[in-house]
């Protein structure tokens, strides 16, 4: 046999092999063209089109009309059901028979009333196996249904994937027939594909690459596509190549099947339910044929959907979970955003997720699974550990895509080569693509231990992390915040979603607290356990990492806002019921304060147009018993207040320490506009070059006028024109007893690719600014000395505190920056993809500026931020009610964040506290409730029998390290 000199003709030899297996070139004579043998048409094919997503039972009762392959249907987001009757020829006995189905959209095959297989052309799933080897006893006449979603794997973007959906897209079936599948051709094709990929991945400098090239060339020489008897000799050459083993030092890649499914993104929540069903039933079919196959799957919410919509499939999943093949991971309700949810919301993600996995599968997740998120809170490690999680998996920091085979990239990109000999590779088509394929598993089998390649092991997260823990002393570590240098526009996009999240977090906090106090006051009160779980799960769902960041289509935004309205409506009713139990309903005015410190606040009652000062102590409920007007005119100035002594009322302590807070020759509350055109990810990204396009908003529509003067409140208002279509109207409010100035803002917003911010150049210079995060705060630089600093021009924050000087607070914004002495709050963006109408409309929000003396800790800035976000709740009560306080803490450093009923005990309360100043402190928690026992517990409310809390006559004594989260079980 003539041997072409491989080394001198690498390109021609490689391309020869590629054309031999091409699905485009020379398919009339190459190996790919022999993949399918005989074919025959379907006996009948009919369709039914529906605008809604309906159950199989409903669909099967509809009238189906004849359908011809190639006919179009739609539009986008509709569902087309197909009814298929097929007859398999008797002459195909002993053959592998497939239904070959190539179409637009995503499909599910139903057989005998059950989902059996997902079909997704983009996921390389275009056939349903009717028989591996047709036998006489097998049914030769079969009826199937195919449920076709009129959307692609990544939605229906018009012109590009992330563009707003095309509502009028049409879909079609391009191929629907019975075929004989030539398994021997598929196996040989896999050998060829792997060898060609190895040649490409290893490159010209590797000896093993040339061996692979020589082998594949010899295989082409030996193989005659028209003569199956030639296949075995060619396969023998491939087997010899793959059978050459590695040494013991070779890197091991732990391969785990996966199908990352965004709970909503370029499609609505309802479509995700079907994506889960299509993908997971396909995974189950793979497990039936491959007992070694392991599949990892996160997000308890998706399991709950499948349980509700596909109960038969869920039972199969439970069976394979017990076998250790289908592995629930992550421990959270959804894969939430890592920056925007509050600390308590993050705890609830784990609480709901871990409890679901325990109840349905009897497992406890040990790893936090967050491959695709837009940031990582510095408090995540403590929250994870408090939920029994010791491992963490993500890939977004390096913007890696899910690896496909071969797996050389996994080794090349490993940053710990030499220190750790193990890494992970998640394989499978995500977002509804059905996850792994049989072809992927076949490829894995060939290279599991082949010389020159990493060893590949079908593994589980437990196996991988156990081996990594064994080498943990050798691994490099990162100290400090994990900052993603992309997608920081998501701190601002879709402002209404962020406002809904903040308001609903506050409302559910108050509902739980009021319900607990009502339970203590009235033992006949029914704590709304199930309703609260339902509302929390809705809130947690909206914290998914493409929803709360605003990087979703308009349909998802509409769903999210509707869920927030449901939470507001039902939550308000629950709060009313709880406060009614507390206050013995009457016609007097009352107030509920859910924060554990004194609050001296002015409340405006719109109907009566009066102001009310409330004098509250701790977490309490009491009537508004002090009504009066403060007659002195309130000046709108930047001032520093001393704390007011409530014993001196009704006279208010005079303002002291007058000090200009704004920088010389600068204007505070300066609105500025920027051009905002990122490179690609429109709703996600803000690029650094946008800072070069700053334009102050200066055109006055309505000049400053006094709205209120004298009494308890002073305020002025004005309007500015942003553009011909957009206007800002603002009321600046200064209340008696309040240490900050509020800016109640309305923006009518109709921009395109613009970014609105507000600036405060302050008379404070510091190399660092302090930013609040979940259960604590961080110091971040105010300079841009390095590339690391420059990349962090936009930070996520709940409220910003600048040490010694000025704090900038807000009630629903998250994007901040402090550069030199200028504090900037991001207000609104106007991206056009994937939601063409993102943020268009009218917005209402409040931010506040708080000058202060001393440190922000001493100035109670944290408490003021809470006050802004947790309003006093006005309610009706009995006129003879006695004010009372449930809890108080003897140090401002410790925040009582949460009071709720324990999940598994009606007579027990859960309290969550954290140290907020960054100090080590001993605190005393005092309570008027009849506490019998107090125990420390973890964040999942599991009691620590070795750690009873110390109860004294003064209360419960607690020790805190900096930013430590402490949870208590109080047995009443």
User: Which range, of 195-199, 322-326, 929-933, averages the lowest pLDDT?
Assistant: 929-933
Reply yes or no on whether the pLDDT at 414 is more than 80.
Answer: no
Peptide bond into 834 cis (omega under 30): yes
Note the pLDDT tens digit of each residue in 135-144.
999 999 999 9
**pLDDT score at 793:** 63
- Report the percent of the chain where pLDDT is more than 90: 72
pTM here is: 0.93
**pLDDT score at 769:** 87
Does some domain include residue 483? no
- Listed in sequence order, the DSSP H helices in 362-460 are 380-386, 408-412, 438-446
Helices 311-323 and 300-309, axial angle in degrees (round to 10): 130
Does some domain include residue 361? yes
Residue range 162-181: mean pLDDT, rounded: 97
The Cα–Cα gap between 186 and 287 comes to 20
The Cα–Cα gap between 881 and 884 comes to 9
- Given a contact cutoff of 8 angstroms between Cβ atoms, the answer to whether 483 and 375 are in contact is yes
Reply yes or no on whether the pLDDT at 626 is more than 50.
Answer: no
**pLDDT score at 492:** 97
**pLDDT score at 607:** 54
The Cα–Cα gap between 922 and 927 comes to 17
Write the CATH number for 171.
Answer: 2.60.120.260
Last residue of a domain, one of 439, 473, 507: 473
Do 155 and 264 share a domain, yes or no?
no
CA 452-2-35 angle, to 5 degrees, is: 65
Residue range 63-88: mean pLDDT, rounded: 98
Reply yes or no on whether the pLDDT at 842 is more than 90.
Answer: yes
Write the CATH number for 750.
Answer: 2.70.98.30
- Given a contact cutoff of 8 angstroms between Cβ atoms, the answer to whether 859 and 869 are in contact is no
Name the pLDDT band for 72 (thresholds 50, 70, 90). Answer: very high
Last residue of a domain, one of 425, 445, 473: 473
Note the pLDDT tens digit of each residue in 645-663.
323 322 222 232 345 788 8
**pLDDT score at 660:** 74
The Cα–Cα gap between 300 and 303 comes to 5
Reply yes or no on whether the pLDDT at 638 is more than 60.
Answer: no
- Report the percent of the chain where pLDDT is more than 70: 89
Reply yes or no on whether the pLDDT at 509 is more than 50.
Answer: yes
- Given a contact cutoff of 8 angstroms between Cβ atoms, the answer to whether 89 and 138 are in contact is no
Does some domain include residue 735? yes
Name the pLDDT band for 5 (thresholds 50, 70, 90). Answer: low
Which pair of structure tokens corresponds to residue 627?
């009504």
Do 844 and 924 share a domain, yes or no?
no
Do 802 and 718 share a domain, yes or no?
yes
Residue range 810-822: mean pLDDT, rounded: 93
The Cα–Cα gap between 694 and 675 comes to 8
Do 772 and 919 share a domain, yes or no?
no
- What total number of domains does the chain contain? 6
Note the pLDDT tens digit of each residue in 473-482.
877 777 777 7
Note the pLDDT tens digit of each residue in 262-282.
999 999 999 999 999 999 999
Do 469 and 524 share a domain, yes or no?
no
- Given a contact cutoff of 8 angstroms between Cβ atoms, the answer to whether 921 and 891 are in contact is yes
Do 296 and 431 share a domain, yes or no?
yes
**pLDDT score at 773:** 93
Does some domain include residue 869? no
Residue range 356-382: mean pLDDT, rounded: 94
Q: Which residues are catalytic?
A: 372
Say which residues have a Cβ less than 8 Å from residue 12's Cβ, sequence separation at least 6.
none
Name the pLDDT band for 403 (thresholds 50, 70, 90). Answer: very low
Do 272 and 398 share a domain, yes or no?
yes
Note the pLDDT tens digit of each residue in 555-569.
999 999 999 999 999
Reply yes or no on whether the pLDDT at 486 is more than 90.
Answer: no
The Cα–Cα gap between 420 and 712 comes to 65
Do 289 and 410 share a domain, yes or no?
yes
**pLDDT score at 484:** 76
Residue with the bigger pLDDT between 365 and 803: it is: 365
Name the pLDDT band for 402 (thresholds 50, 70, 90). Answer: very low
**pLDDT score at 406:** 42
Does some domain include residue 722? yes
Does some domain include residue 347? yes
Do 80 and 125 share a domain, yes or no?
yes
Residue with the bigger pLDDT between 803 and 851: it is: 851
Note the pLDDT tens digit of each residue in 229-241.
999 999 999 999 9
Residue range 769-778: mean pLDDT, rounded: 92
Do 509 and 549 share a domain, yes or no?
yes
Name the pLDDT band for 404 (thresholds 50, 70, 90). Answer: very low
Residue range 153-170: mean pLDDT, rounded: 95
The overall average pLDDT reported for the chain is 89
Do 726 and 755 share a domain, yes or no?
yes
Write the CATH number for 916.
Answer: 2.60.40.1360
The Cα–Cα gap between 29 and 774 comes to 63
Does some domain include residue 568? yes
Beta-carbon count within 10 A of 161 CB: 14
Domain residues for the domain of 403 are 252-473
Last residue of a domain, one of 196, 218, 243: 243
The Cα–Cα gap between 795 and 807 comes to 16
Which pair of structure tokens corresponds to residue 325?
């093949």
Token match 């002195």: residue? 632
Write the CATH number for 321.
Answer: 3.20.110.10
Does some domain include residue 757? yes
Q: Which residues pair with 747 in a beta bridge?
A: 728, 843
Within the chain, what is the greatest distance between any pair of CA atoms? Answer: 108
Beta-carbon count within 10 A of 556 CB: 29
Reply yes or no on whether the pLDDT at 625 is more than 60.
Answer: no
Residue range 164-193: mean pLDDT, rounded: 97
**pLDDT score at 646:** 29
In 152-280, beta strands by DSSP E: 171-181, 252-258
User: Which range, of 129-133, 331-335, 474-478, averages the lowest pLDDT?
Assistant: 474-478
Do 300 and 416 share a domain, yes or no?
yes
Name the pLDDT band for 522 (thresholds 50, 70, 90). Answer: confident
**pLDDT score at 501:** 98
Residue with the bigger pLDDT between 432 and 955: it is: 955
Question: Considering Cα of 551, then 553, then 554, then 555, what sign does the dihedral take?
Answer: negative
Name the pLDDT band for 764 (thresholds 50, 70, 90). Answer: confident
Name the pLDDT band for 664 (thresholds 50, 70, 90). Answer: confident
Cα-flanking dihedrals φ and ψ of residue 356, to 5°?
Answer: -65, -50
């Amino acid at each position: 046999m003539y041997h072409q000199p491989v080394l001198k003709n690498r390109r021609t030899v490689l391309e020869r092999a590629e054309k031999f297996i091409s699905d485009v070139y020379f398919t009339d004579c190459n190996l790919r063209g022999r993949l399918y043998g005989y074919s025959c048409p379907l006996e009948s094919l009919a369709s039914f089109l529906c605008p809604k997503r309906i159950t199989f039972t409903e669909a099967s009762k509809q009238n189906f009309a004849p359908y011809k392959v190639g006919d179009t249907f739609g539009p986008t987001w509709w569902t087309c059901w197909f009814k298929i009757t097929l007859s398999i020829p008797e002459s195909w006995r002993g053959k592998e028979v497939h239904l070959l189905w190539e179409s637009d959209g995503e499909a599910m095959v139903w057989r005998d009333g059950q989902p059996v297989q997902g079909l997704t052309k983009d996921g390389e799933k275009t056939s349903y196996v009717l028989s591996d080897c047709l036998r006489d006893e097998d049914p030769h006449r079969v009826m199937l249904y195919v449920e076709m979603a009129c959307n692609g794997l990544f939605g229906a973007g018009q012109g590009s994937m992330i563009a707003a959906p095309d509502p009028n897209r049409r879909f079609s079936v391009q191929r629907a027939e019975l075929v004989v599948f030539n398994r021997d051709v598929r196996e040989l094709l896999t050998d060829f594909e792997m060898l060609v990929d190895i040649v490409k991945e290893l490159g010209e400098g590797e000896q093993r690459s040339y061996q692979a090239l020589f082998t594949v060339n010899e295989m082409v020489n030996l193989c005659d596509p028209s003569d199956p008897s030639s296949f075995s000799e060619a396969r023998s050459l491939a087997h010899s190549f793959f059978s050459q083993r590695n040494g013991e030092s070779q890197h091991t890649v732990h391969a785990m099947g996966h199908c990352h499914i965004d709970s909503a993104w370029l499609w609505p929540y309802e479509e995700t339910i079907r994506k889960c069903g299509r993908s997971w039933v396909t995974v189950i079919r793979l497990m039936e044929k491959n007992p070694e196959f392991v599949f990892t799957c996160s997000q308890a919410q998706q399991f709950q959907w499948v349980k509700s919509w596909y109960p038969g499939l869920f039972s199969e999943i439970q069976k394979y979970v017990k076998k250790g093949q289908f592995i629930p991971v992550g421990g959270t309700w959804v894969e939430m955003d890592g920056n925007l949810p509050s600390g308590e919301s993050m705890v609830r993600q784990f609480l709901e997720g871990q409890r679901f996995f325990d109840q349905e599968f009897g497992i406890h997740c040990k790893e936090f699974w967050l491959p695709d998120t837009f940031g990582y809170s510095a408090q995540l490690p403590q929250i994870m550990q408090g939920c029994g999680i010791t491992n963490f998996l993500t890939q977004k920091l390096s913007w890696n895509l899910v690896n496909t085979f071969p797996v050389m990239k996994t080794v090349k990109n490993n940053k710990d080569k030499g220190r750790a000999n193990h890494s992970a590779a998640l394989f499978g088509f995500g977002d509804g693509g059905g996850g792994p394929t049989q072809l992927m598993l076949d490829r894995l089998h060939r290279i599991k231990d082949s010389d020159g390649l990493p060893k590949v092991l079908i593994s589980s997260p437990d196996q991988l992390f156990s081996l990594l823990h064994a080498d943990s002393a050798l691994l490099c570590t990162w100290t400090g915040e994990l900052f993603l240098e992309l997608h920081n526009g998501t701190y601002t996009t879709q402002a209404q979603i962020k406002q809904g999240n903040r308001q609903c977090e506050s409302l559910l906090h108050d509902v739980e607290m009021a319900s607990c106090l009502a339970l203590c006051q009235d033992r006949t009160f029914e704590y709304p356990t199930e309703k609260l779980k339902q509302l929390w799960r809705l809130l947690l769902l909206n914290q998914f990492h493409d929803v709360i960041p605003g990087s979703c289509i308009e349909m998802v935004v509409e769903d999210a806002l509707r869920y927030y309205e449901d939470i507001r409506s039902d939550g308000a009713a629950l709060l009313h019921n709880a406060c009614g139990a507390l206050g013995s309903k009457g016609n007097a005015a009352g107030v509920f304060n859910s924060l554990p410190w004194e609050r001296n606040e002015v409340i405006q009652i719109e109907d009566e147009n009066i102001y009310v000062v409330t004098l509250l102590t701790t977490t309490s409920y009491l009537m508004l018993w002090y009504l009066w007007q403060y007659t002195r005119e309130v000046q709108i100035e930047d001032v520093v207040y001393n704390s007011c002594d409530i014993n001196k009322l009704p006279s208010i302590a005079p303002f002291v320490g007058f000090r200009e807070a704004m920088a010389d020759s600068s204007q505070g509350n300066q609105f500025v506009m920027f051009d905002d055109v990122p490179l690609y990810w429109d709703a996600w990204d803000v690029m650094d070059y946008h800072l070069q396009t700053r334009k102050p908003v200066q055109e006055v529509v309505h000049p400053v006028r006094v709205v209120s003067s004298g009494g308890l409140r002073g305020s002025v208002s004005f309007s500015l024109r942003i553009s011909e279509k957009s206007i800002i109207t603002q009321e600046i409010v200064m209340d008696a007893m309040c240490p900050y100035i509020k800016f109640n803002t309305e923006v009518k917003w109709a921009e395109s690719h613009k970014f609105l911010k507000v600036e405060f150049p302050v008379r404070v210079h510091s190399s660092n600014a302090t930013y609040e995060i979940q259960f604590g705060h961080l110091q971040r630089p105010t300079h841009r000395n390095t590339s690391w600093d420059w990349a962090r021009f936009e930070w996520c924050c709940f409220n910003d505190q600048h040490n010694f000087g000025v704090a900038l607070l807000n009630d629903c914004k998250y994007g901040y920056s402090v550069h030199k002495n200028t504090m900037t709050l991001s207000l609104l963006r106007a991206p056009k993809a994937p939601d063409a109408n993102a943020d268009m409309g009218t917005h209402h929000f409040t931010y506040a500026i708080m000058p202060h003396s001393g440190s922000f800790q001493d100035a109670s800035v944290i408490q003021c931020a809470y006050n802004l976000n947790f309003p006093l709740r006005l309610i009706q009560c009995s006129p003879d009610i006695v004010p009372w306080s449930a809890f108080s803490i003897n140090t401002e450093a410790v925040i009582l964040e949460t009071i709720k009923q324990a999940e598994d005990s009606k007579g027990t309360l859960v309290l969550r506290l954290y140290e907020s100043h960054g100090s080590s402190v001993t605190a005393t928690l005092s309570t008027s409730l009849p506490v019998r026992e107090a125990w420390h517990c973890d964040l999942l409310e599991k009691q620590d029998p070795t750690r009873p809390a110390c109860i004294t006559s003064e209360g419960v004594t607690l020790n805190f390290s900096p930013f430590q989260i402490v949870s208590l079980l109080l047995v009443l």
